[in-house]
Amino acid sequence: MEELRDLYDKNKNLTGEKYYKGEIIPKDRYIIVVTLFILNQHNELLLQKRSKEKGGKFGFLSGHPKAGENSLQGITTELKEEIGIYSQEMSFLHTEKTKNAFFDFYYLKSDIDISKLELQKEEVESVKWFSICDIENLIDRNEFYENHIEALDIIKKYIK
């Protein structure tokens, strides 16, 4: 069963309208997409390799808030569902607006022990820490989720 999502106006205000994931987004309406960058003490980013059913490429933890969830609740849900951890220690970084979506980016500094994560096998095949250089190599080899390439440029601005 497809999940119900909220729709927003051009100013990111809830409209009270809903749509099902996978439907065409109505004209002059927007959805929210949430992405979390998890960075360890070695300046490596945690990537998940998506399951074969989800394309099998590497990408950041990302998803859509369910109807009734705000952006922070949505990324918290994705974190719990996809890799089995709960954290509200994340910080909001940035919003990008496109023709039909607001992309909200969050950041979490944490040395997560990836061997202890509970992966949602329908969504995530594996997780691994990568340097920026390693991620750029994934991009060159077409092993990185294309929709997340712009997200990489955003997090690069924040990593020193």
Whole-prediction pTM = 0.92
Cα diameter, the chain: 44
Averaged pLDDT for residues 19-36:
94
Each residue's pLDDT tens digit, 65-99: 999 999 999 999 999 999 999 887 899 999 999 99
pLDDT for position 82 = 94
73: three-class secondary structure by DSSP: helix
Averaged pLDDT for residues 110-125:
94
Q: Where are the alpha helices (DSSP H) in 26-104?
A: 71-83
Question: What's at 63, amino acid-wise?
Answer: G
pLDDT at residue 1 tops 70: no
DSSP secondary structure of 86-150: -----EEEEEEE-SSEEEEEEEEE----GGG----TTTEEEEEEE-HHHHHHHHHTT-B-GGGHH
β-bridge partners, 97: 102
As assigned by CATH, the class of the 4-156 domain is alpha beta
Radius of gyration of the chain (CA): 15
- 47 in Cβ contact with 60 (< 8 Å): yes
Domain range list for the chain: 4-156
